[in-house]
Chains A and B, each alone.
Chain A
Amino acid sequence: MDRKLWLLISFFLGGTTLTVFLTPSPMMGLSSVLGTIVITSTVLGTSVLGTPVIASSALTTAGLAAAIAGAYTLAIQTSGVFIGGLAVCLILFSEATSPSYGEISDFLRELRPSWLPATAIASVLLGVQAAVKVLHFFR
Chain B
Amino acid sequence: MSYRELRRTLYVSAPAVVTFLLLYAVMLQLLGYGYTLYVVSALVFTAVSLGYTLLGQTRSRPSPEAPKGPSEARGPRRLPTQATVSLLIVFVLAEELLLNSIYSLLGIILALVGFIAFPLVAFVIGRNDFWQRVAFETVSLLLATRLVVSPFPVGLLSLSVYVPVIYTLIVVGIASYVTYRKIPLEEIRASSGGKNPLLLGILGVAVGTPLGLIEYRVLSPGPVFVGAAFIQTVGYNLLVLGLFVSIAEELLFRGLLLTSLEKRMEPWQAIGFSSIFFGVMHLGWFNPLEVLFAYGAGVILAYLAYTTKSLTPAIAAHALDNFVLFLLAARF
Contacts and interface: CB of A to CB of B under 8 A. Distances in A.
Interface of A: 1-2, 4-5, 8-9, 12-13, 15-16, 18-19, 21-46, 48-59, 64, 67-68, 71-80, 82-83, 86, 90, 110-111, 114-118, 120-121, 124-125, 128-129, 131-132, 136
Interface stretch (B119-127, B195-203, B261-269): B119-127
Given A35-B241, A54-B34, A8 B175 contact: yes
Contact of A58 (B35, B224, B325): B35
13 contacts: A1-B175, A4-B190, A24-B233, A29-B329, A32-B160, A42-B285, A52-B220, A53-B290, A76-B108, A76-B149, A90-B116, A118-B115, A124-B169
Contact of A27 (B150, B233, B322): B233
Interface stretch (B55-63, B77-85, B244-252, B297-305): B244-252
A9 B244 CA distance: 11
Task: Report the 6 A-B pairs with minimum CB-CB distance, sorted nearest first.
Answer: A50-B222, A41-B284, A29-B224, A75-B104, A24-B229, A129-B151
B167 A57 contact: no
Which of A4, A32, A90, A132 is most buried by chain B, counting CB atoms within 10 A of its CB? A32
B128 to A, nearest CB: 10
Interface string B265-295: 0000000000000000111111111100000
Interface in B127-186: 127, 133, 137, 140, 144-157, 159-161, 163-173, 175-180, 185
Given A51-B222, A52-B287, A118-B116, A71 B147 contact: no
A73 B130 CA distance: 38
A60 B293 CA distance: 21
Given A54-B34, A68-B104, A36 B99 contact: no
B244 A12 contact: yes
B160 A36 contact: yes
B140 to A, nearest CB: 7
Given A24-B233, A33-B156, A115-B119, A120 B284 contact: no
A124 B163 CA distance: 17
Given A50-B220, A115-B120, A23 B160 contact: yes
A24 to B, nearest CB: 4
B331 to A, nearest CB: 9
B172 A12 contact: yes
A36 B322 contact: no
A110 to B, nearest CB: 6
Main secondary structure of the interface of A (DSSP, over half): helix
Nearest to A16: B164
Contacts, number: 292
Contact of B150 (A56, A125, A136): A125
B235 interface: yes
Contacts of B240: 15, 19, 35
A12 B140 CA distance: 22
Contacts of B306: none
B235 A22 contact: yes
Contacts of A53: 218, 287-290
Given A23-B161, A56-B33, A28 B225 contact: yes
B2 to A, nearest CB: 30
Contacts of B18: none
A54 to B, nearest CB: 5
B221 interface: yes
A110 B126 CA distance: 12
B75 interface: no
A45 B283 CA distance: 12
Contacts of B167: 12, 16, 39
B236 A5 contact: no
Contacts of A44: 156
B105 to A, nearest CB: 4
A51 to B, nearest CB: 5
A132 B233 contact: no
Given A35-B240, A52-B290, A59-B34, 11 more contacts: A15-B239, A36-B159, A38-B245, A54-B34, A54-B287, A75-B104, A86-B116, A114-B120, A124-B169, A129-B150, A132-B153
Interface in B83-105: 96, 99-105
